[in-house]
Amino acid sequence: MSLRINPNPAPDLLAAIALNRQSQNTALQQLSTGLAVNHLSDNPAAAAEVTLNHAQVSQDTQYLQNITNLTAQSNTIDSTLSSVVTAVTQAISLGVEGANGTQSSADRQAIAQQLTGIRDQVLSLANQTYQGNYLFAGTATSTQPFVLDPTQPTGVKYNGNANTNSVTISSGNEIPVNVPGSQIFTNPAGDVLGALNGLITALQNNSGLAAANTNLTQAASQLNSQRVFYGNTLQQLQTAQTSLTTDKLQLAQQENSLVGADLAASITNLEQANTATSAILTATNQILSTLNLLNFLK
């Protein structure tokens, strides 16, 4: 039997080497990126799903940023209102003390002076800002909402508006994020600043103290009912944040199942490609040596 040797094996050998080089490069890329799909041509269907996945992740990220900003703002507001409640509670105690019939005129004037300091503190809190914006001005956030104005019936003027802002915190979930300051501090159902002014005047004049104390207690109750809004808002934000964080985790897991590389398999493929390339190169050297020998013997 005669042995027949391909006189021109170079194209076949080069093709085999190129194929193994491609396998090596694919395995190396998978190991370096951790992805089995690095180009659209690797798996068009998976690549399309990953594009949609990334769009959803981007949307979730924006919602989470909205929630982070709103949570910080709402915490600032809640803390501010907590300080107002503390100040008004102190004012109520002083009002009861001032209404005691054993108090002298000088005593009542001193208590009125203390209440003036509390009123100014509450006024300052009502004009609280966050990142340069007034928190209790409705949507007129660049306008200081409250100023003392003796021409007003309650001694305070509100310069904000009655509008509210809404922010989307998840798909199809838009929530209001503020209560106008007029609803919190100068609500006709319980006017905190007006009641404080009224109690100060009552102490100074030693007249109408019982009614003034009743008005302040009613205002404190109204203030607490308005504060509930921000507690509910913080709860909504926390719920939405948990849901979005879970969704992002699930999307990451889904993407990994779509295009994530099996690193153990990639290592095996790389080793096999390296071994095959070495074998082909060794075989090539042997074939070329045989061909040279045959050419020499001719």
How high is the mean pLDDT in each 10-residue block of the chain (298 residues)?
54 62 61 59 68 86 95 96 97 96 94 98 98 96 96 96 94 92 95 97 96 97 94 94 92 67 57 65 62 52
Domain annotation covers residue 291: no
Map tokens 């798909």 to a residue: 171
- pTM, rounded to two decimals: 0.73
DSSP 144: -
Count of structural domains within the chain: 1
The alpha helices in 102-191, defined as continuous H runs, are 105-126, 181-185
Nearest CA to 235 among 189, 169, 153?
169
Q: Show the tokens assigned to 250.
A: 């699930």
Is 160 a domain residue? yes
Contact 173, 240 (CB under 8 A): yes
In a domain, 27, yes or no: no
| Measured distance CA(23)–CA(20) in Å, rounded | 5
Could you tell me if 165 and 111 are in contact, meaning their C-beta atoms sit under 8 angstroms apart? no
Token look-up 């068009």 returns 44
Question: How long, in residues, is the chain?
Answer: 298
Q: What single-letter DSSP state applies at residue 131?
A: T
Q: Give the DSSP letter string of 130-191.
A: ETTEETTSTT-TTS--EEE-TTSTTSEEE-S-S---EEEEETTEEEE----HHHHHSBTTB-
Question: Does a structural domain hold residue 271?
Answer: no
Residue 176 lies in a domain: yes
Q: Give residue 262's identity as a one-letter amino acid code.
A: D
Identify the CATH number of the domain in which residue 98 sits: 1.20.1330.10
> Does residue 287 lie within any of the structural domains?
no
Does residue 35 form part of some domain? no
Q: Which domain holds residue 63?
A: 52-253
**pLDDT given for residue 252 in this prediction:** 78
Output the CA–CA distances (angstroms, integers) from residue 216 to 86, 116, 191, 206, 222, in the order listed: 13, 14, 8, 16, 10
> What's the confidence (pLDDT) of residue 52?
83
Give me the pLDDT at residue 1, please.
47
Please give the structure tokens belonging to residue 152.
């007003």
For strands 129-130 and 133-134, give the pairing: antiparallel
Does 39 reside within a domain?
Answer: no
